[in-house]
Every structure is written in C-alpha cells, then in structure tokens.
Copies of this chain bind each other. A is one copy, B any other.
C-alpha cells in the first residue's frame, strides 16, 4: 500500500480489467494469456511488475493459496477460497471470515496473530465431471475383461 499515486497505463488498465472479468482468480501466466489477446506486445515482466504495483496500491490482492503459483484477486476484501486439487482453479467462498477462529487460536500459540487463511480443497464442477467420465470409461474397460 504505497502513497504515491498509481500511473494508470494502458497495460495496467487491461490487466485490472482481465483480472476482474476472469472466472475465478488467475495466476500470473493466466493474466498474461488474457492480456496478450488485447495487447499482443506486452511482456511477462510487465505483467509481474504491474501485478506487484497493483498490489502495493491496494487495487488487487495476491492469494497465497497452498500451491506454488500465486493467484490474483481484484476483490481486496479478506475472504476464503476453494481450490480445485486437480486443475488448481481458485474460487471465492461466499462467507465472511470467522474472526472468532483467530481469537480461539491466539491462546494456543506464542505467535502474535495478525490473520488467518482458510482454504477448502476439492474438485471444481468441471473436474468432477471429468472424473466421472474417466470412471465410467474405466468401468467399461473392466467389464470388457
């Protein structure tokens, strides 16, 4: 959260728009692919630099979900997420964070607590369908034996 004002370049505007319209929360390379359709000459370093700048200015937030790639979210309010263990898709959970959890844990450890993260793990609708189809195909193969 910096105090200097944010220079709104074409690249930054498009990056913001693409993050906002993304289905779920994109990773840096997903932002790149989306933005590149509109600004074909944009470079990956601009993506990374602008994502960081936008974070610094509080326009987006990084989601540090439990996987190697960072995801970016245009909704800067604190909220929980669900993550697909198959495709990595990250989606919002429509609930307010439970502040009582933090309070409950405060006495259980010697950390100075400043927040918490909760992540649901599972299969997203698309991957559920894919799994079901895979299983159906397996059943046919088994039956053929």
Contact = CB atoms under 8 A, between A and B. Distances in A.
Interface string A35-60: 00000000000000000000000000
B95 A111 contact: no
B119 A116 contact: yes
Interface of A: 64-68, 70, 80, 82, 84-85, 91, 93-95, 101-102, 105, 108-125, 128
Interface of chain A, helix or strand or loop or mixed? mixed
Contacts of A116: 118-121
B114 A121 contact: yes
Contacts of A105: 80, 82, 93, 95, 120
A135 to B, nearest CB: 13
